[in-house]
Structure 1
Amino acid sequence: MGTATICALTQGDQLDCWNERSDLRLTPLRPLDATYQSVHGDASHGCALSSEGHLPCWPNSFREELTEAWGSETTFIDVSIAASLTRGHACAVTSEREIACWTRYGGRVDAPSGEFESVSVGPVEACAIRVDRSIVCWGPMYSDAENAPADSFTAISAGRGRTCGLTEDGMLRCWGRADEAPAELRTSGLTSISVSWGNHCAITEKAELWCWGSNHDAHVGALPGTYTAVSTNEDHTCAITTQGELRCWGFNDHGQTDSPPGRYAAVATGRRFTCAIRIDGHAVCWGDSRHERTDAPTGTYTSIAAGWWHACGIREGGEAVCWGRNDYGQMDVPNGKYSRISTNERHTCAITTEEELRCWGFNDMGQLDVPSGHHVEVTTGQDHTCALTPEKRAVCWGHGGRTKYRMDQAG
Structure 2
Amino acid sequence: MTHPYSSRLRGVLGVALGLLLSVGCGQQGASLDSTGVEGSQAAAISRTKPKVRIAAGLWHSVAIRADGTVWAVGNNSAWQLGITSVEDTATPVQVPGLTSVTSVAVGDFFSTALRSNGTVWGWGALHRGQLGIPTTTSPTWRQATPVQIPGLTGVVAVAAGDEHALALKSDGTVWAWGDNWAGQLGDGGDGYRETPLAVSGLTNVVAVFAHDQTSYAVRSDGTLWAWGDNTFGKLGIGSFVSNSPVPVQVQGLTNVVAVTASPSHALAVKSDGTVWIWGLTNPTTWDMALAPVQVAGLTGCSDVAAGDGFSLVLKSNATVWSWGINNQGQLGDGTQHDRFTPAQVPGLTTVSALAASDTHALALRADGSIWSWGSNHHGERGDGTPPLYATPSLVQGALVGGQMVAAGASHSLLLNSDTTVWSWGLNRAGQLGDGTTVRHTAPAPVPGLHDVKAIAAGGNKSLALLYDGSVWQWGDGLLVPTKVAGLSNINAIAVSDTHALALDFDNKVWAWGNNTEGALGDGTWTSRATPALVPSLSDVMKVVATSHGSYAILFSGEARAWGSNMNGRLGISTGGSSSAVPLPVVGVTNVVSIAGGKDHGLAVTASGQGWSWGSNVNGKGLAGSASSSPSPRPMSIQGPVDVVAGDDTAFAWDGHGILWAGGDNGLGERGNGTRNPLELPNPVTGISNGVNSVAAGGAHVLAILPDGTLWSWGDNSDGQLGRGVPLDAISPVPSLLD
TM-score above 0.5, yes or no:
yes
**Cα deviations by residue, 1:313-348 (Å, 9 ceiling, x for unpaired):** 111122222111223321134422122211111111
Structure 2: distance between partners of 1:341 and 1:235: 21
Q: Is the 1:147–1:175 Cα contact (8 Å) retained in structure 2?
A: no
Aligned to 1:208: 470
Aligned to 1:129: 380
Letter aligned with residue 19 of structure 1: G
Alignment TM-score, normalising by the size of structure 1: 0.73
Q: Is the 2:503–2:509 Cα contact (8 Å) retained in structure 1?
A: yes
Structure 1 residues 239 and 148: alpha-carbon distance in aligned structure 2, compared to 1, 3 A threshold = farther
Asked if residue 307 in structure 1 is aligned to residue 583 in structure 2, the reply is no
Aligned to 1:25: 249
Residues 57-206 of structure 1 correspond to what in structure 2 (within 5 A)? Answer: 59=277, 67=302, 81-84=307-310, 88=323, 105-108=342-345, 120-121=358-359, 125-127=374-376, 128-129=379-380, 147=395, 149-152=397-400, 153-177=402-426, 178-180=431-433, 186-206=448-468
Q: Which has the larger radius of gyration?
A: 2
Aligned to 1:94: none
2:698 to 342, 366, 382: 382
Aligned to 1:288: 564
Structure 2: distance between partners of 1:65 and 1:90: 24
Q: CA deviation at 1:385?
A: 0.7
Letter aligned with residue 316 of structure 1: A
Aligned to 2:654: 352
Structure 1: distance between partners of 2:699 and 2:566: 23
Q: Is the 2:266–2:306 Cα contact (8 Å) retained in structure 1?
A: no
1:316 to 579, 599, 606: 606
Aligned to 2:261: 40
Structure 1 residues 89 and 207: alpha-carbon distance in aligned structure 2, compared to 1, 3 A threshold = closer
How many percent identity over aligned positions?
16
**Cα deviations by residue, 1:53-78 (Å, 9 ceiling, x for unpaired):** xxxx85586997775xxxx8xxx9xx
Letter aligned with residue 291 of structure 1: N
**Cα deviations by residue, 1:219-242 (Å, 9 ceiling, x for unpaired):** 952443211111011121111101
Structure 1: distance between partners of 2:300 and 2:387: 24
1:364 to 666, 672, 681: 666
Secondary structure, aligned partner of 1:188: coil
Structure 1 residues 148 and 234: alpha-carbon distance in aligned structure 2, compared to 1, 3 A threshold = farther
Aligned to 1:270: 546
Structure 2: distance between partners of 1:29 and 1:9: 24
Q: Is the 1:82–1:122 Cα contact (8 Å) retained in structure 2?
A: no
Unaligned runs of 5+ in 2: 1-8, 10-181, 187-196, 200-207, 209-215, 217-224, 227-234, 270-274, 278-293, 313-321, 334-339, 349-354, 362-372, 389-393, 436-444, 522-533, 572-584, 624-635, 672-683, 718-722, 734-738
Letter aligned with residue 346 of structure 1: D
1:233 to 496, 514, 520: 496
Q: CA deviation at 1:208?
A: 2.1
Structure 1 residues 324 and 28: alpha-carbon distance in aligned structure 2, compared to 1, 3 A threshold = farther
Secondary structure, aligned partner of 2:502: strand
Residues 383-402 of structure 1 correspond to what in structure 2 (within 5 A)? Answer: 383-399=699-715
Q: Is the 2:309–2:325 Cα contact (8 Å) retained in structure 1?
A: no
Structure 1 residues 12 and 347: alpha-carbon distance in aligned structure 2, compared to 1, 3 A threshold = farther
Number of residue-to-residue matches in the alignment: 361
Q: CA deviation at 1:100?
A: 11
Secondary structure, aligned partner of 1:129: coil
Structure 2: distance between partners of 1:135 and 1:118: 21
Secondary structure, aligned partner of 1:367: coil
Structure 1 residues 255 and 118: alpha-carbon distance in aligned structure 2, compared to 1, 3 A threshold = closer
Q: Is the 2:415–2:455 Cα contact (8 Å) retained in structure 1?
A: yes
Structure 2: distance between partners of 1:347 and 1:65: 49
Structure 2: distance between partners of 1:90 and 1:250: 25
Q: CA deviation at 1:158?
A: 0.3
Structure 2: distance between partners of 1:65 and 1:288: 51
Q: Is the 1:65–1:108 Cα contact (8 Å) retained in structure 2?
A: no
Letter aligned with residue 589 of structure 2: G
Letter aligned with residue 663 of structure 2: G
Secondary structure, aligned partner of 2:345: strand
Q: Is the 1:366–1:397 Cα contact (8 Å) retained in structure 2?
A: yes
User: Which of 1 and 2 has higher RCO (CA within 8 Å, sep 6+)?
Assistant: 2
Structure 2: distance between partners of 1:249 and 1:315: 29
Structure 1 residues 107 and 329: alpha-carbon distance in aligned structure 2, compared to 1, 3 A threshold = same
Unaligned runs of 5+ in 1: 49-56, 92-98, 112-116, 138-145
Secondary structure, aligned partner of 2:450: coil
Structure 1: distance between partners of 2:185 and 2:343: 29
Q: CA deviation at 1:395?
A: 1.0
Letter aligned with residue 263 of structure 1: D
Q: Is the 2:360–2:381 Cα contact (8 Å) retained in structure 1?
A: no
Q: CA deviation at 1:215?
A: 7.0
